[in-house]
Structure 1
Amino acid sequence: MQVFQNCSHFKRHSKICLKIIALRRGMGCEAGSLAPPVQRTATAGGRCDENMRPSLTAGRRDMVSFRNSDLNPAMRCLRIPFQQGAVFMNAKFFPWRALVVAWVCLGATGAAVASEATCPNLLQHRFDRLQDEKPQSLCQYSGRVVLVVNTASFCGFTSQYEGLEALNAKYQARGLVVLGFPSNDFGRQEPGSNQAIAEFCENTFGVKFPMFSKTSVVGPGTNPLYQQLAERTGERPQWNFHKYLIARDGKTVRSYGSRVEPKDPGLLKDIEKFLSTK
């Protein structure tokens, strides 16, 4: 039995596969690949294995087969693992079913993630969440006003955490989100681990806005988001708690120095302006 672990051959025979790839990329999955957990399987003779039938056995993963007579004979079987209790579809592999399958296999939750087609280029990045280091796509903030801040735990501006949390809580319902990026670039004022930073932020300031793993915001190791922000504004962070305000369109960006506090009238005016623009 021949098993194809990626989509390099399969995609030449089906637009459906290309749609799934596009959806995966929008979700931040590895480009050009459907596996794991998806595999295309066919017998050596090019016929689908007639024994590939969905079964449901408690405590194990099961496989579902789909057929598409329009595909190359060697690629007709698509096997996708499902968890127990999933709804099985074993009819012909129509495009709408392809999207459903992709959605289920990607482990989508109630929080929708914007695809590349609608996600601004500036937000097409993934960063590990601070608390558990699980990858997060910034595309989930597409259409919102985003305040990006590089933070540090032992800085003279660290007290701004309190104002940033208040800002996020006040305007969250209207579409603002504050994103924190801890960095040790300035004065080595963020030396701790991600876990230590997360505990400090929660225990000291009750921070609830999204924060990501420690990163570099200046220098050779600057992460791609901060590279783009610097290019858009012509300004790079000079110290901790520099702020970038991104409009809903993901194109308009304003820059504010570290001394600009979260309650600064000019910053608040710009936030109000960006929030009022749909």
Structure 2
Amino acid sequence: MKISIALMVLLGFSASAIQAADCPAYLDADYRKLHASESIHLCDVLAGKDALIVNTASHCGYTPQFKALEALHNQYAERGLVVVGFASDDFKQAAKSEEEAATICYTNYGVTFTMLAPTAVTGAEANDLFEYLGRQSEQPGWNFNKYLLDGETGSVQHFGSKVKPGSVELNKAIEVLLQP
């Protein structure tokens, strides 16, 4: 039986215990930031928040989508949308080094949203979040698949590589997701 957060506070549970109780298993993991020693716990970034999750690659025909993803991040961050990119080489389109990938993301495209170090996003080796996203919708078939994750319900909407960030289709779905 899961006890409410309010009851946990009344009973004197620590903040970390409360957070752990409110963290879905698919977010309960640490990931290293791209080309950094710093790691983040996905619950700290995503628990209870609406999010756009994207599997990325540095040398792909869709790589220019970074610019539009950054624009979405800037457009919707104040309304609560969190954008997180997962670098991956599942489709053999990654940079030769994390340093090169970071240059492409941060310098070439001006990315400021959270970018994570390379991790598997498909198959048996997929990280916990992408395993969940794949079960709820479909696994990425290529780079730059976009997943809208409802922070309240955990429901997932999938948009393939060809759906551009900033497209009417994706923006409409984001608007619906962010409605109070």
Q: Per the shorter chain, which TM-score range?
A: 0.7 to 0.9
| 1:135 matches 2:44 | no
Higher mean alpha-carbon deviation, 126-135 vs 150-159, is at 126-135
Q: How many residues align?
A: 170
SS where residue 192 of structure 1 aligns?
coil
SS where residue 217 of structure 1 aligns?
coil
1:215 — aligned with what? 119
| 1:156 matches 2:156 | no
For residue 113 of structure 2, what is the amino acid of its counterpart? F
Give the C-alpha shift of residue 120 in structure 1: 3.0
- 8 Å Cα contact 1:157/1:258 also seen in 2: yes
SS where residue 148 of structure 1 aligns?
strand
1:224 — aligned with what? 128
Aligned with 1:259 (options 133, 138, 162): 162
1:252–1:124 CA distance, 2 compared to 1 (3 A): same
1:186-229 CA distances to partner (integer Å, 9 max, x unpaired)?
Answer: 1x210322222112211100000001010111133211111111
Gaps of 5+ in 1: 1-94, 104-112
For residue 65 of structure 2, what is the amino acid of its counterpart? Q
RMSD, matched Cα = 2.2
- 8 Å Cα contact 1:148/1:244 also seen in 2: yes
Gaps of 5+ in 2: 1-10
Aligned with 1:167 (options 67, 72, 75): 72
Question: 2 CA distance for matches of 1:221 and 1:121?
Answer: 16
1:146-188 CA distances to partner (integer Å, 9 max, x unpaired)?
Answer: 11101111111011000000000110000011100111111x2
1:21-46 CA distances to partner (integer Å, 9 max, x unpaired)?
Answer: xxxxxxxxxxxxxxxxxxxxxxxxxx
1:114–1:138 CA distance, 2 compared to 1 (3 A): farther
1:62 — aligned with what? none
Higher mean alpha-carbon deviation, 202-211 vs 189-198, is at 189-198
Aligned with 2:51 (options 121, 128, 146): 146
Correspondences of 1:81-230 after superposition (within 5 Å): 99=14, 115-140=19-44, 141-186=46-91, 188-230=92-134
Q: Structure 1 residue runs of 4+, over 6 Å off?
A: none
Tell me the percent identity.
39
- 8 Å Cα contact 2:27/2:128 also seen in 1: no
- 8 Å Cα contact 1:120/1:249 also seen in 2: no
For residue 200 of structure 1, what is the amino acid of its counterpart? I
For residue 260 of structure 1, what is the amino acid of its counterpart? V
Higher relative CO (Cα under 8 Å, sequence separation at least 6) belongs to 2
For residue 257 of structure 1, what is the amino acid of its counterpart? G
Question: 1 CA distance for matches of 2:153 and 2:118?
Answer: 23
1:250–1:136 CA distance, 2 compared to 1 (3 A): farther
For residue 115 of structure 2, what is the amino acid of its counterpart? M
1:245 — aligned with what? 148
Structure with a larger share of its residues in helix = 2
Structure of greater Rg:
1
TM-score (norm 1): 0.57
